[in-house]
Structure 1
């Protein structure tokens, strides 16, 4: 194809749709997740025609996506390290990529100093706490929920799901050892009221979603995707330079091993 053809193609508007609520928008573009990880220094171990596989830079976390096995979807496993126990999460095939990215983006970033609370983002967005044997928060339209499910001693997990009039759209399960800040990042992405964009014909039929038709040029889509990648690379660069610039400190020989009232990092 000639350069003129591609220039004209990139300038030609295409029909897309803004979908609300986002948890009923369908899977979307996997690159929203994978390209951010790649730009953040994760290693792509995927093989042509096989499942997607990425390892974190320190090899403590592995992410996979496989649509060819049952039930298929995303699998994320964290290795035990220090005070952190091994953990895992699974997210179904039709979990919107933007919600998956709420979790996976957080894997690339330093933990916040604040104590994580997975319920806080839901409460801010008007999700309703439901009484019952398990702690549950339900979306205002009653079509999505997240639950801390505890069926007995040592038997617990986080469970999230969404549904349309046709049945379950997707579900996600997190082991009880999943770092709490990751569950909080997931719940924030789940409850985010911002619509997500899908091409024509690439979202599930449902009378429970609201659609807004928009005309978007391929060049605009590419620019938005590149901005997200650039932000990931900039974050890596900033952390790398901060680490190199941080002054080294030494402990005086007479300093005690610990001090009364010393604080400890949260898990």
Structure 2
């Protein structure tokens, strides 16, 4: 593990606070699980309902009740599950991401669930290839990171069926893996691959950095107010986007899709 040290460029005056040691970790896919609230608080701010029971697994449900997110630390192998129910335009789907999948990568998928789909056709491979990941030809379509420690694969079975699989490993073995059923909406798998390939490091507090020689770390001093401000900015962004969508939907419902509410009434010339 290679280390560097620098002072974190903060969001404001220190105010007498005691700075705490954190680490910027790269590549992000070997950074360890991270803080669950990076995922759950964004969903909460986006209008998802917290269905968790005290002492039990984390459970969140989308506003339209079409998707359910779970995180279970009590079972083996445990980790994240995402389930989408069948709709008139989408088959039922399921995804699992194991416990040590970095929350920033999980959030790539869950954040995308809170936004309207893009008009462009999804391409799972494009974000990976843009960051220098290499495609391998064979029975299964595989793209591997430049360091060889992370893989995304379209796994084709002998019966014409297939599924998406991804995983990462370090010198100690498998770190995490993710599985998406064939019916998983492609824009969600693309969002996953985009977050996975993102070259930006992720932050972990002292004591939460994996013991691996495959990662690079930069030591930074962070004041609690700085960390809180960064977390709050993410939550505020979710709330703003949710409000904007709600406001647009309300206006559209009142005026109708083709209405021009400010158009002047036509009159006969005099």
Matched, 1:180 2:192: no
> Aligned equivalents of 1:77 and 1:151: distance in 2?
22
**TM-score (normalizing by structure 1):** 0.89
Q: Which residue of 2 aligns with 1:94?
A: 100
Q: Which residue of 2 aligns with 1:135?
A: 141
Matched, 1:206 2:212: yes
| Correspondence for 1:107 among 106, 109, 113 | 113
> Aligned equivalents of 2:56 and 2:16: distance in 1?
30
Q: Which residue of 1 aligns with 2:131?
A: 125
Q: Which residue of 2 aligns with 1:27?
A: 33
Runs of 4+ aligned structure 1 residues displaced above 6 Å come to none
**TM-score (normalizing by structure 2):** 0.88
Change (3 A) 1:154 1:199: same
Q: Which residue of 1 aligns with 2:56?
A: 50
> 1:202-261 CA deviation, whole Å, 9 max, x = no partner?
0210000000000000111100000000000000000011112223147xxxxxxxxxxx
Change (3 A) 1:63 1:161: same
CA contact (8 A) 1:41 1:57 kept: yes
> Aligned equivalents of 1:152 and 1:84: distance in 2?
25
Kindly state the Cα deviation for residue 135 of structure 1 after the two structures are TM-superposed. Answer: 0.3
| Correspondence for 1:61 among 41, 56, 67 | 67
Kindly state the Cα deviation for residue 56 of structure 1 after the two structures are TM-superposed. Answer: 0.2
Kindly state the Cα deviation for residue 61 of structure 1 after the two structures are TM-superposed. Answer: 0.3
| Correspondence for 2:83 among 77, 87, 92 | 77
> Aligned equivalents of 1:131 and 1:26: distance in 2?
30
SS where residue 75 of structure 1 aligns? strand
CA contact (8 A) 1:23 1:95 kept: yes
Kindly state the Cα deviation for residue 116 of structure 1 after the two structures are TM-superposed. Answer: 0.6
Kindly state the Cα deviation for residue 155 of structure 1 after the two structures are TM-superposed. Answer: 3.0
> Aligned equivalents of 2:21 and 2:158: distance in 1?
50
CA contact (8 A) 1:10 1:218 kept: no
> 1:11-67 CA deviation, whole Å, 9 max, x = no partner?
110000000000000000000000000000000011121100000000000000001
> Aligned equivalents of 1:132 and 1:57: distance in 2?
41
Alignment of 1:159-174 (within 5 A): 159-174=165-180
CA contact (8 A) 1:9 1:218 kept: no
CA contact (8 A) 1:51 1:67 kept: yes
Q: Which residue of 2 aligns with 1:231?
A: 237
> Aligned equivalents of 2:16 and 2:213: distance in 1?
32
Q: Which residue of 2 aligns with 1:254?
A: none
> Aligned equivalents of 2:16 and 2:115: distance in 1?
33
SS where residue 157 of structure 2 aligns? strand
The gaps in structure 2 that reach 5 residues or longer are: 1-13, 259-270
Kindly state the Cα deviation for residue 170 of structure 1 after the two structures are TM-superposed. Answer: 0.2
> Aligned equivalents of 1:203 and 1:46: distance in 2?
28
Kindly state the Cα deviation for residue 172 of structure 1 after the two structures are TM-superposed. Answer: 0.3
The gaps in structure 1 that reach 5 residues or longer are: 1-7, 251-267
